[in-house]
Structure 1
């Protein structure tokens, strides 16, 4: 019976397009976010597995990230039109993982929105690139999605003023979650957008990142005066939103270094360091062991700075 229902779901997607049933979550009076599923991208979820947010600046919307496909971005914007029918002027793209920026192709096509973000998107992708979303999603879910270029590359702290709202865009400066990461702060309502530097409710993927860089980024975020923090993945947007990330990477560093001191080998590290406090979080089975193994490789010859 389950197989039949799943087949009917695929038929529905094929015939009528992928309907994400998106609902904006209000963070504060000017900010709404679409909070993705705590899953890896798949044909079943159509790539809706990351967070992206709209900020109303008075006459425009500014986006922090753009979702993983053209269709996600399109359906999200249609929901935002019901709140305020405003054009999108600017999209800030926080890092190069495709679940956060492929949706910018919709906003570029519809509004000619300015795309601001990390240089690694331009460096590592061109119009012919086929990212994991193109490889993993159905044809209907990925339709119309295109690779788009960042027009303003951010390499140092930058402030954008859109209407009556300022956006402080701050590069981490070292590899943290990805080779380049930005976070965004809106002083007007003390909202902090961490993107994938922070996740909650699920295990992070640190395949392109650094334990030391992640902890540095967390310290940078903690210095900000914020009321809300929107993670790259996860549903908690409160002041406590980064607690899980801080705990995970603090313990990961501590335990891997202790294991190295005790001469645990790379072959055995995942048997010794299990991070079992997080075993009930989404994607633990898929990602945690890889994170531990990668942390061993990073920290094997690590020396704490004075």
Structure 2
């Protein structure tokens, strides 16, 4: 029997294997903050929905999360990784907008810790326990296993300061449609870290299907007013002070070029042939998302007048 056990250990068969292994490694941002950075892809069976970023912040005795990932299994594996760094309970999760790749993982933390969930009102308004979001219809059964929709405990409608273990989080609603119909961003003054979520992306083309060019540019101005050392995008691997640059350039050029197309009487049926945004053609998801962004921007800006 001892020989059998030894053989299993050598083969690695005694270690636990996941039905879907996300192969996670957190990126250390500072002494309090670690982030799991998703793949620069659309959600798929291959990536299990791990294509957005979410972060752990240690307040000393607890973890606070900014977003929670897209599945129960992803959240569970992320917490197991973080427990090897610091084994702390997850006190509160701040959910930045209602795209499911950022908040479905909250079901794990609610079950394990009864974590407090706070965030945008559209999560409660648009979803209930019977809803089947994009993630349920895209990833494998192994990846989505145990994932459920849970309601927020508190809705953020105005700027809020949150203190846990004397560690401060500042939460800012954008106040207008930007990346989605409701977006918030989070700032930690003591570490000068800015969690922009999907208001900022880099390394890939943004999706503006639920958003607004004008709102995005307003949000960028709000973010740039903050005194930060690191900016964590909702999608992207650059977490430096320069992480915002691609998004700012993209929406600035998109607005300028679409307004010029309107002035030149280029119609919506032709606009994607004239505006290619070729500076971004080597970015991930360019082929999938850019033309749609241009078309939607035209519909938004066709009758726009500068204030």
Partner of 2:84, secondary structure, is helix
Identify the match of residue 93 of structure 1 among 86, 92, 95. 95
Pairwise mapping of residues 6-155 of structure 1 onto structure 2 (< 5 A)?
Answer: 16-155=18-157
Unaligned runs of 5+ in 2: 1-16
Residue 167 (structure 1) aligned with residue 169 (structure 2): yes
TM, length-normalised to structure 2: 0.94
TM-score (normalizing by structure 1): 0.95
Q: Cα deviations across residues 220-252 of structure 1 (Å, max 9, x unaligned)?
A: 000000000000000000000000000000000
* Aligned-partner Cα distance in 2 for 1:211–1:255: 12
Corresponding residue number in structure 2 for 1:247 = 249
CA distance in 1, matches of 2:242, 2:111: 37
> 2:227 aligns to what?
225
Secondary structure of residue in 1 paired with 2:117: strand
What residue number does 1:10 align with? none
> Deviation per CA, 1:172-220, whole angstroms, max 9, x where unpaired?
0000000000000000100000000000000000000000000000000
Q: Take 1:50 and 1:165, find their aligned partners in 2: how far apart are those partners?
A: 25
- Residues 107-129 of structure 1: per-residue CA shift (max 9 Å, x gap): 00000000010000000000000
SS in 2 for 1:281: coil
1:16 deviates by 5.0
Match of 1:189 in 2: 191
SS at match of 2:123: helix
Q: Which digits, 9 at most, give the CA deviation of each residue in 1:31-62, with x for residues without a partner?
A: 00000000000001000000000000000000
- CA RMSD, Structure 1 to Structure 2 (Å): 0.7
- Provide the rounded CA distance (Å) in 2 between the counterparts of 1:273 and 1:304: 21
Q: Deviation per CA, 1:236-287, whole angstroms, max 9, x where unpaired? A: 0000000000000000000000011000010100000000000000000000
Equivalences for 1:190-205 in 2 at 5 Å?
190-205=192-207
User: Could you say if the C-alpha distance between residues 122 and 19 of structure 1 is closer, same or farther in structure 2, counting changes exceeding 3 Å?
Assistant: same
Deviations 1:10-46 (A, max 9, x none): xxxxx95100110000011100000000000000100
Secondary structure at 2:205 match in 1: coil
Mapping of residues 290-305 of structure 1, within 5 Å: 290-305=292-307
Q: 3-state SS of the aligned residue for 1:92?
A: strand
1:234 aligns with 2:236: yes
Provide the C-alpha distance between the structure 2 equivalents of 1:298 and 1:17, rounded to a whole number of angstroms: 44
Q: Distance in 1 between matches of 2:87 and 2:267?
A: 58
Q: Which residue of 2 aligns with 1:285?
A: 287
Q: Distance in 1 between matches of 2:140 and 2:232?
A: 29
**Alpha-carbon distance, 1:101 to partner:** 0.1
Q: What is the aligned partner in structure 2 of residue 158 from structure 1? A: 160
Q: Stretches of 4+ moved more than 3 A in 1?
A: none
> Structure 1 CA distance, aligned partners of 2:76 and 2:184?
24
Deviation at 1:164, TM superposition (A): 2.1
Alpha-carbon distance, 1:95 to partner:
0.1
Count of aligned positions: 291
Return the index of the structure with the highest Cα Rg.
2
Alignment map for 1:256-295 (pairs within 5 Å):
256-295=258-297
